[in-house]
Structures are given as structure tokens and as C-alpha cells.
Amino acid sequence: MKKALIFILLTLISKISFAQESDFVVSQDGSGDFVTVQEAIMAVPDFRNVPTYIFIKSGIYKEKIILPTSKTKVVLIGEDVENTILTFDDFASKLNKFGEEMGTTGSSSFFVFGDDFSARNLTFANSSGPVGQAVAIRVTGDRAFFEKCKFLGFQDTLYAHGEKSRQYYKDCYIEGTTDFIFGWSTAVFENCEIFSKAGGQYITAASTLESVPNGFVFINCKLTGDAPEGKVYLGRPWRIHAKTVFINTEMGKHIRPEGWHNWNKPEAEATAFYAEFGSSGEGAHPSARVSWSKQLTEEEMSKFTVENILSGSDGWIPGINLENKLWPSPHHLPKSKD
């Protein structure tokens, strides 16, 4: 009992410290610097060379949010991942003010164009329901880092969009039905839970460029869900050079024994790279996988590390900002200007 009370006290102190020492505080009750997330983002100086920390107090923020290209090194920190929710309810077939369908991209609740974006303890959601393509977040900027975040939706939840974008998702929860992790980017998902909702058939739909060595890589993740047994594919190729790899991943019984689908593109069987190493659980069926997928050897698997996949020519280390400081904690945050 005493340990539990101490933990609660330390958590409260940490939240207070974040709020006091961040650059901006967003709160719907008017107690912060801004009442909307978009206002706080627009207050960040353009192309700032040091991180700008924005603390977001608990609440459901129904906003269609854009992080412009000029807003770099923005760090969003939620008070509580379960109760700090950034959401909107657009969807692909919804008509805009010109009477035109929004399309998949236009349905996004949150657009990330700026480089070096980080988020922690936040839920990104599309609350339109099962109405077809409806994106919770589209990430185009380079060097994006998400830790302890949730991504909620149905079809097309997480759009890893940028062709040259590198993204890292650590200890996150991502749910959806069909192609709910999709796009061109190179993205690593480490220690994440990937939840397939009933009615879905595919987890990933990568569209990796032929010249890009890695697409989506899942490391030490768990594939869970309430989809029926044996109904969900690990992925299908949105473009024929799609690349998706699962390393040491626990797979539930909803995963189909064959694992992968060619999206009725037989040519993709020779060009896509779909691979696994060390899969476990009721959905792990290495001998039953389609013949054109690959079971990696230990030597081949060893190159699939976070550093090898994401470092690039600039040596990016996810979770380390340009001041070489570890992920934001109260003693790392800049002092309040008040």
C-alpha cells in the first residue's frame, strides 16, 4: 500500500513538473497558455534549432491538426495517454465544402509535416467509425518518434506517408481493421501491441520504394485482436516493392497460416520482401507461410536493429534530440517563461 501511494505521488509530481517547465501548456479549461493544440503549434518559432516542449493536459481535443514543415523539433507530451486524446472524424468518402470527396489523405486527423517531431503519452484517433478509409495520423516529416502513444481507428489508422521519412514507435498501441499501418516510410515498431479489430483482414500495406532498403520492421511486438481465428494477413503490397519484417513477434490465433497476400499482384511475389524471424504464439506458422516470403537466419536477422534501420547518413538515434539529451523528463525540460 505504501509503495502504491509513493508511486502515485511521484506520478503527480512528474505531471506538475512537465506543466511548469514546458514551453507551452495546452488546457481546455483555460489554465494553460492555449486551449487548442493547433494554437500552441502555431506559436512555435519557425525552423527553431532546439526542441519546443508542449504539455497537453487531459481532455478530448477534437481538432484537425497540422504540424507545418516550418515547425521543427516540436515535442508533444500528454498528461495521460488514456485521457489525452487528439481526434477528428473525417473520412475518405466525406464531402468537403466544394462537394468533393476528401480522399484517404484528406481524412487525416493529424498531419505531421515538420521534421524531428516527438510525442509521448498521447492518443491519436479518428473517431468517424467503420466508414472506410479514415486516417488518425499522417506522418510525412523525417525523424519522427512516438513513445507510449495510442493510435485508434478502423481502416488506414496510421499513415506512414513520407517516402524518405524515418519513424520510430516504441511501447505504443495501434489498432484497426484493414491496412491500418500503411505507406512509404521506413518505420520501426518496437515493443508495440498491434490490435486487429473484428472485420479486418490485413495489418500492413507497405508501399516501399524499390531504392529504399527497409519499410516496416516490427521488433518484439505482440499481434493481438478480436478478429476471428485465422482471418488476418500480416500484410499485402500496396506497391510491388513493399518491405515488411517481423522480428521476435508474438502472434495471436487471428493470424492466417499463410501470413501474406499478394493483393492480386502476382508480380509482387518476386519484388516484395516479406520476412520473419523468431515468430511465436498461435499465429506463428513458419512452415505454412507463402513460398515467396522468407524465414530469416540469425545472421540475416542481426542487421535488423533500430540503429541500422533508422540511423541514415545523419546518424539519427531515436529518442535523442539534437542537444544529445535523453527523452524528455522534468529535469531536461526548459524552464517556463513565466
Q: Catalytic amino acids?
A: 179
Residue-wise DSSP of 30-55 = S-SSBSSHHHHHHTSPTT-SS-EEEE
Tell me how far apart the alpha carbons of residues 202 and 214 are, in angstroms, rounded to a whole number.
19
Provide the edge-to-edge strand list for the sheet that holds 294-295: 24-26, 52-56, 74-78, 118-120, 144-147, 166-170, 186-190, 216-219, 243-247, 273-277, 294-295
Write down the H helix ranges in 184-325.
Answer: 268-271, 298-301, 306-310
Q: Is the dihedral of CA 325, 327, 331, 334 positive or negative?
A: positive
Neighbours of 291 (CB within 10 A): 7
Neighbours of 147 (CB within 10 A): 22
Tell me how far apart the alpha carbons of residues 67 and 180 are, in angstroms, rounded to a whole number.
22
Question: Which residues are 111's β-sheet partners?
Answer: 66, 138
Q: How far is CA 82 from CA 108, 115, 147, 307, in A?
A: 20, 26, 14, 30
